[in-house]
Copies of this chain bind each other. A is one copy, B any other.
Amino acid sequence: MTEEHDAVEQEESLFEAPPMGEQERMVEAILFASAEPVTVAELTARMPHGSDPAEALVHLRKRYEGRGVRVVRVGDAWAIRTAPDLGYLMQKETVETRKLSRAAIETLAIIAYHQPVTRAEIEEIRGVSVSRGTIDQLIEMEWIRFGRRRMSPGRPVTFVVTQGFLDHFGLESARDLPGLKELRAAGLLESRPPPAMGGEEDEDEDDEGQSELFEE
């Protein structure tokens, strides 16, 4: 097989091989268009007889030195690849704005209205446990941060809202947040007063007892 091939090659190489510059172009085009790295044998098979792809590759490789792409060896094959220092261009940054999840909004609201507030208190008020992810997300967004530890058994950490939070929501302070009555007046609450919560006032932040009102 090889002998036969050689014989054919010798015979054919009697015809003039393309100039090296042309061969370089050919290698360039083949490497560019191939989905897989291409071996020298394959290049030889595809190029006109008498071509010397190995030499063409040397030239081509040199030509691409310092360029945006490089001619690289992959095993015993060759390919054109992005220069490693430009890999970052192959990323496309897109910013997608999403609405905060309901759990996160509620947690944030409780912290804003009740700060400083412990995780246990948040859970008491929401009636469901608060996932770590929700807290982490709000911290990462820099809308909440850790406050003082509560002077109670276990000395739990508390959460408070940040200046970033106030800036985002256009508030001077967390005290500017509308109270329940105002929310109701603004139509944000059902106007029907709950029988059990008749005379309820807006809460003070540190009124721990109030959370009992919200137990299920």
Which of A's residues lie within 8 Å of B, judged by CB? 24-30, 32-35, 45-47, 66-69, 80, 82-83, 86, 89-90, 92-93
Tell me the complex Cα distance, A80–B67, Å.
15
Residue of B nearest to A56 (CB): B68
Q: What's the least CB distance linking A37 to chain B, in Å? A: 13
B28 touches A90 (CB 8 A): no
A25 touches B68 (CB 8 A): yes
Q: Please tell me which one of the listed residues B27, B34, B86 contacts residue A29 in the complex, with CB atoms under 8 A apart.
A: B86
Q: Please tell me which one of the listed residues B29, B35, B89 contacts residue A46 in the complex, with CB atoms under 8 A apart.
A: B89
Q: A29-B83, A29-B90, A46-B89 are in contact. List 13 more A-B contacts (CB 8 A).
A: A25-B66, A25-B86, A26-B89, A27-B68, A28-B67, A28-B69, A29-B69, A29-B89, A32-B80, A34-B93, A35-B93, A46-B92, A47-B89
